[in-house]
Each structure stands twice: as C-alpha cells, then as structure tokens.
Amino acid sequence: MIHGLASTLAEKIIARASGRGQVRPGETLVCRVDLAMIHDSGGPRRVAPKLAQIGAQVWDAERVVVVSDHFTPAADAESARILKLTRDWVRETGAAHFYDMQGICHVVLPEHGHLWPGMFAAGGDSHSTTGGAFGCFMAGYGATDMAGVLASGEVWITTPETLQLWIGGALAPGVSAKDLMLHLCASLGTDHNGQVIEYAGPALAEMSISERMVLTNMAAELGADTALIAPDARTMAALRATGREPPEALRGTDAQIFARWRSDADAPAARAEVDAGALAPQVAAPHSPANSDAVGACAGAAIHQAYIGACVGAKLDDLHMAAAVLRGRRVARDCRLLIAPASARTTSQAAADGTLATLTQAGAILLPSGCGACAGLGAGLLADGEICISTTNRNFRGRMGSPNAEVYLASPYTVAASAVAGCIADPRPLLAERGVARPVAGAA
C-alpha cells in the first residue's frame, strides 16, 4: 500500500476493486465487480448467447441482479417472448435477485438495498451512473461487456479523472435537481468522457436521496463515465431502512463508512461550481438535453402530451412535486397527462399517502411502472408532429415514438404546470398561489 498520497473517492473505490494500493486517472486496469445488474432489454436475450459462446457460467449468482423493466408489461408478443426468456434465464442460472415488473432498475436497486458506499458495480444500462448517489462506483456497460462481467466477475476500465462539482446556495421553491441538471447539460456540455463527476456542497447536503439520484442519473447526459456522492447520514438512513446488509467487506459503523469513502481534501481533481440559488426552472428544447434554458424561453409553446415517467422523473418525490401543482386543478383540454410511477413500491406509497388520488382527480392517466415511453417501447408514444413535455432524461429524435415528434424535458413541477396550462408553463406562479414556500421534495 502506498501511503501519504491523496486520492479521490472514485480512485479509492477503483483501487480496492483492482487490488491496488492506489490508482491514478488514465490507468487502464481490471476490476473485480461487487454487483452486476442487467435488465430485460440488454440482459439475458443478449448476454446468454455470448455466455454460451464463451462456454462460461455466471461467475457468482449471488452478485447478479436482474430487472425486467423495459418491455413490461408486454405490449406485444415479441415483448412477451423477451420477458419469458428473461424469467427462464433467471431460473436456469439461479441469479439470486430478480425484480420482474417491480419498476425501473435504477430505482429498484437502491430501494431493495443492493447498492452501498465503496462498492464497484457494473450495470447493463447507461443510467447505471444513478448508483453513485449511494457512494457506489457504478458505470454503464453494453451487452458484450456485461457478458464478460457475468463470465469472469471482472471488467476493464480506464480510471477517470474526477471533476468535483460544488453546488452552492439553495434551490428556490419550484426549482428541483432536474432543473439543475438541465442547466448543467447546457452550461458544462455533454462531453465529459473520461471524467467522474463528484457532487458536493450545501445545496446537495439539503437534497433528498431521490433528488441526489437525479444528479447522478443525468451525469449520463453530461457524458461522464459516472458520478459519485460521498455518503452522509441521509444516505445511510435510506440504505439501513432497506433491511439489507452491505457486502461483508464494506460493513462498518456510519462513522467508519464516512471516513473511508470520501475524497481526500488535497486529492488532485478538476473543480467547477454552480450557484443553485440563482436557478429558475429549466426546459430543454428538442432534440438534446443541452438545449436547456430558463422556462421563460419557451413558455407558451403548444404541447399535446405531458409525461411524468422514467427512472429520473417518476420517483415518489417527483410524484409529490406533480401533486403540489395539480392539487385541485385540472389537466387542460386537448392535452393528456400520462404518469408512469418509477416502481411498484412508488405506486403503493403514492396510493397510501393520497398522492395518486390527487393526480388522477386532476385528470392524469396512470400507466404501468417501467421504462414505457421513455425507452420508446411502452405506452405513451408520440405521432408525427406531436409535441410532448416530459420528466425523462433524454429527448433525442425518435426516442419517444415518431422521429417527427418533439420532446421537451423539464422537472415534474414544470411538466405538471404545463399539463394544466396546455402549453409550456412556469410552475412557480401556481405553487405560489398555494403558498408552497420550500421545495416539496424534502423527505428521504
């Protein structure tokens, strides 16, 4: 072990996973994987033939999590075939953890306590960066990479440089982590390949776990290798509430975990700063998250559909934000509001606390949990010439149905306010009428 040299959180996790004392940005090395996540779309149907080609079995069934979320529930016979194939593969391989139609992988994983600080995880999906909200180094990989992980328990990576992003100030009422990320897509650009973004600062400390997950999720839109947030008391409270234990080697008291899994103060890293307090709600115009600007820039633009869905934008906090706007109001005529809660647990929690009733009384149509329209696979797709405002994370051409449709991205507040107005609208006046003085998203 080399002593006395400062390391970032990412470097500490990669050093442990690669069995080195210390690693430096740019080093390409092989890491042992603590957990591998695959889903129905990129998972068994793509990796099983590759595993057979290699002639290998799953290296450790206990460390494999399979989530069916992209094709759920089956909308046609081909989707049904893919879901059945996934179930059969889980049975045959004995993969220990399977969530079939329980929600979107990036939400289901932490909900069920699979991610812990210090872990090195591999996810077969580009938004696997979300796991960084729990101090876990989790990047996204394609199907061949995941076949390699499942066969060997190992993956090659090039150690990223760390970009420490300090989030100063405090978010104003009606402004959320989603607005911050859309703003960053425009201001920092979407080409952060070779970097891991480590978020810190007072605005972050105040954010709920759900809001932190938005920051790490959309690090994928910044083009970063992945993102990290050092664990704090809120992280540990959320994880311990899941009832699952961390892997043996990563156990400890909260204090031990905080001391072990953080960047050293003098570790070499790039730095950037953003003032959360200066932000207005943001909207990304078609066809890139980087086309973001304050909502005023496109307020009044016509919409046909408002969509509240996806891993990034339909968690319980997100539904609470939408409900804060929609309570006692109605979705505009000629506009449809579709809501696909991010997980089965989200749905049951929102049913229990009355949120679902608020949403449906406003005229929202509830859709099944899963990737749905976000993946261009499920219900809620767009026709030629249709315009949608959406809480999802990507508005690339053709992603949500017709290549001639247009998708705007925004926060749940802004999407709900737009559904009420029938055109793109600033949520703050609607929230102010209600005297919502603080962001609704506060609970963990």
- Contact residues for other proteins, defined by CB under 8 A: 28, 41-42, 46, 50, 53-56, 78-79, 124-126, 139-145, 147-148, 151-152, 156, 190-191, 193-194, 223, 225, 288, 290, 375-377, 394, 396-399, 401, 403
Tell whether residue 188 is a contact of ligand SF4 (CB under 6 A).
Answer: no
The minimum distance between CB 139 and ligand SF4, in angstroms, equals 14
Name which of residues 134 to 153 contact ligand SF4 (CB under 6 A): none
Q: What is the DSSP string of 5-50?
A: ----HHHHHHHHHHT-S---TT-EEEEE-SEEEEETTTSHHHHHHH
88 SS3 class: helix
The minimum distance between CB 423 and other proteins, in angstroms, equals 26
Tell whether residue 310 is a contact of ligand SF4 (CB under 6 A).
Answer: yes
Residue with tokens 């507040």: 413
The minimum distance between CB 130 and ligand SF4, in angstroms, equals 8
The answer to whether 104 and 94 have CB atoms below 8 angstroms apart is no
CA distance 231 to 239: 10
Q: Which is nearer to ligand SF4, 12 or 70 (CB)?
A: 70
Q: Which is nearer to ligand SF4, 311 or 417 (CB)?
A: 311
CA distance 103 to 344: 6
Q: Which is nearer to ligand SF4, 40 or 198 (CB)?
A: 40
The minimum distance between CB 355 and ligand SF4, in angstroms, equals 20
Residue with tokens 């790490």: 216
140 binds, among other proteins, ligand SF4, none (CB under 5 to 8 A by kind): other proteins
Residues touching ligand SF4, count (CB under 6 A): 11
Q: Which residue, among 72, 3, 7, has the nearest Cα to 39 in the 3D structure?
A: 72
Q: Which two tokens stand for residue 247?
A: 């892997």
Residue with tokens 């609470």: 320
The minimum distance between CB 341 and ligand SF4, in angstroms, equals 11
CA distance 444 to 436: 19
139 SS3 class: strand
Q: Which is nearer to other proteins, 28 or 253 (CB)?
A: 28
The minimum distance between CB 270 and other proteins, in angstroms, equals 16
Tell whether residue 125 is a contact of ligand SF4 (CB under 6 A).
Answer: yes
Among 101, 104, 332, 356, binds ligand SF4 (CB under 6 A): 104
Furthest CA-CA distance within the chain = 66
Burial class of 78 by CB neighbour count within 10 A (0 to 12, 13 to 18, 19+): exposed
Q: Which is nearer to ligand SF4, 185 or 310 (CB)?
A: 310
The minimum distance between CB 11 and ligand SF4, in angstroms, equals 27
Q: Which is nearer to ligand SF4, 214 or 374 (CB)?
A: 374
CA distance 166 to 289: 21
Q: Please tell me the number of Cα atoms within 13 Å of 222 on its side-chain side.
A: 29
The answer to whether 246 and 139 have CB atoms below 8 angstroms apart is no
104 binds, among ligand SF4, other proteins, none (CB under 5 to 8 A by kind): ligand SF4
371 binds, among other proteins, ligand SF4, none (CB under 5 to 8 A by kind): ligand SF4
Among 38, 267, 311, 421, binds ligand SF4 (CB under 6 A): 311
50 binds, among other proteins, ligand SF4, none (CB under 5 to 8 A by kind): other proteins
90 SS3 class: helix
By residue count, the chain amounts to 444
25 binds, among ligand SF4, other proteins, none (CB under 5 to 8 A by kind): none
Q: Which is nearer to other proteins, 191 or 275 (CB)?
A: 191
Q: Which is nearer to other proteins, 158 or 349 (CB)?
A: 158
Name which of residues 346 to 405 contact ligand SF4 (CB under 6 A): 371, 374-375, 392-393
Q: Which residue, among 266, 268, 252, 213, has the nearest Cα to 235 in the 3D structure?
A: 213
> At how many degrees (to 10) do helices 44-54 and 143-152 cross?
50
The answer to whether 348 and 319 have CB atoms below 8 angstroms apart is no
Residue ranges that bind ligand SF4, judged by CB under 6 A: 104, 106, 125, 127, 310-311, 371, 374-375, 392-393
